[in-house]
Structure 1
């Protein structure tokens, strides 16, 4: 029986959520599966991947073939790199300690990249929020200035209004 590691789609239309499963190659996409080994949520940034590392490595070593997308996910999580290092240990090119050290260094570097991306995303979001707030404050100030200019009469009209009552009073005094 040929087994595949593939995605099983769940979730609403436009909001996919996937289970990572081991299934018979002849079974339908969302149908019967042998074992569920993880989940993948592409709706978050960066995508959320939860996987049972040991079970997945066991299935890959047994001969389960991952689909293209699952291969990318397993590579991202380091399952395929761990299998590669175990192959080097079997051939005698590496010792078990060297392979573990290489894998630990790889995991450390990968975690650094992921946290760097998360930090850059949050800082970009904060920066966008600050620029939007500054633009909104400027727009509000412009609106307030326009309203104030509209409500206060121009200086010429104020001067004419003060001169007009004075002229009326002088005209009334001269008429008497």
Structure 2
């Protein structure tokens, strides 16, 4: 019987999650399975993987073949690397203590990498939230300014300004009349002087004729 380590789909449309199962390769994807050894939730970032490490390693030793996705999951959790190290122990390349030391070193590096990714994601999320809050505050300020401008009444002239305008208008004819009155005697004097000059010229002409 060919045995597969594969994913069994659960969840609702658009938000699936999966069980990691060991099943007969001839069974339907979501049909009967031999054993459930973990779960995989791709809806989180990073994805949440819960895996029974020892059972997954045992089934690999028994010859179970993982699908492409479950192979990636087993590699991510270190099951394939552990299997590789145990193969080296069987071949005599190194002892079991050295294999365990190598695996512990790999685990520490993996955890540090995961931790760094989570911190970067958290920082990015905080920056996005901060930018969104700043944009929202700017939008609210613009709306408030628009509302204030709409509700502000137009500027009206004060009574003092109106009185000053009326006073200036009333004074204009008075000044014009005064100027006209002051110009009248000058005009009369000019007319008198012109008459006298005309009479003097006439007398001179009369004397010349005599």
Shorter-chain TM-score range: 0.7 to 0.9
Q: In structure 2, how many angstroms separate the alpha carbons of the residues matched to 1:151 and 1:31? A: 68
Dislocated runs of 4+, deviation >2 Å: 142-154, 160-171
Matches within 5 A, 1:51-130: 51-130=51-130
Aligned to 1:166: 163
Q: What is the CA distance between 1:34 and its match in structure 2?
A: 0.5
Q: In structure 2, how many angstroms separate the alpha carbons of the residues matched to 1:153 and 1:10? A: 63
Q: In structure 2, how many angstroms separate the alpha carbons of the residues matched to 1:150 and 1:27? A: 71
Q: In structure 2, how many angstroms separate the alpha carbons of the residues matched to 1:153 and 1:71? A: 72
Q: What is the CA distance between 1:167 and its match in structure 2?
A: 5.6
Q: In structure 1, how many angstroms separate the alpha carbons of the residues matched to 2:159 and 2:56? A: 90
Q: What is the CA distance between 1:148 and its match in structure 2?
A: 2.7
Between the two proteins, the alignment pairs up a number of residues equal to: 170
- In structure 1, stretches of 5+ residues that fail to align are 172-176
Larger radius of gyration: 2
- For the structure 1 residues 142 and 49, does the alpha-carbon distance in structure 2 shift closer, same or farther, using more than 3 Å as the test? same
Aligned to 1:12: 12
Q: What is the CA distance between 1:95 and its match in structure 2?
A: 1.3
Query: Secondary structure, in 3 states, of the residue corresponding to 1:89?
Result: helix
The answer as to 2:143 corresponding to 1:143 is yes
> Please, what TM-score do these two structures have when normalized by structure 2?
0.74
CA shift digits 1:68-97 (9 cap, x unpaired): 100000000000000000000111111111
Q: In structure 2, how many angstroms separate the alpha carbons of the residues matched to 1:129 and 1:112? A: 26
Q: In structure 1, how many angstroms separate the alpha carbons of the residues matched to 2:159 and 2:141? A: 31
CA shift digits 1:143-163 (9 cap, x unpaired): 222333333356xx34x3445
Query: Secondary structure, in 3 states, of the residue corresponding to 1:46?
Result: coil
- In structure 2, stretches of 5+ residues that fail to align are 169-210
Aligned to 1:37: 37
